[in-house]
Structure 1
Amino acid sequence: MNAAEVIVILQEMSFLILKLSAPMVLTALVLGMVVSLIQAITQIQEMTLTFVPKFVAVIAMGLIVLPYLVPSFETFTRTLFVKITNSGGINR
């Protein structure tokens, strides 16, 4: 495996990480903004009001999208192992 192939694999891995984490990160972002807006309107400044809903929402979103994300991760892993096996290791 030469340097160009390794760079391509790292690019694919970076895109996959973004794809896998995006639903949970966006959920936390949107819910955090909504809770902050509600706190600003009601003038309640309680830290648990921001943490608990985001925690529950991120876990729920993770469970909802898990069946859609696992095939992407599995495909990437299988492809990576095939590339490693076919190359016979890393050539320097």
Structure 2
Amino acid sequence: MNEADALDIVQYAIWTVLVASGPAVVVAMVVGVGIALVQALTQVQEITLTFVPKIVAILLAVAFSGPFVGSQLSSFTTVIFQRIESGF
């Protein structure tokens, strides 16, 4: 294994992490901005108002995007095992 192979594996691993975590992060950002807008309009600054809806939304996003995340991790694992099998 040379430097190019190692960099290729690291790049693919980082890309897999970004793609797999994307749905949950996007949902958290959208819900957070929506709640911040509601708080700014109503001037209600309750701390639990930000956390509870965000947690529920993230749990739903993880539940619905589970097969997608699993397929991304499965393809990454397959690529890594194929490289190990071929001796890099």
TM range (shorter): over 0.9
Q: CA RMSD in A?
A: 1.2
* Other structure's SS at 2:86 match: helix
Q: Name the TM-score, length of structure 1 as normaliser.
A: 0.89
Gaps of 5+ in 1: none
Percentage identity across paired residues of the two chains: 38
Structure 1 runs of 4+ aligned residues shifted over 4 Å read none
CA distance, structure 2, for counterparts of residue 44 and residue 24 of structure 1: 26
C-alpha displacement of 1:84: 2.0
C-alpha displacement of 1:21: 0.6
C-alpha displacement of 1:31: 0.4
Gaps of 5+ in 2: none
Superposition pairs of residues 71-90 of structure 1, within 5 angstroms? 71-87=71-87
Q: Which amino acid aligns with 1:49?
A: L
Task: State the number of aligned residues.
Answer: 88
Q: Name the TM-score, length of structure 2 as normaliser.
A: 0.93
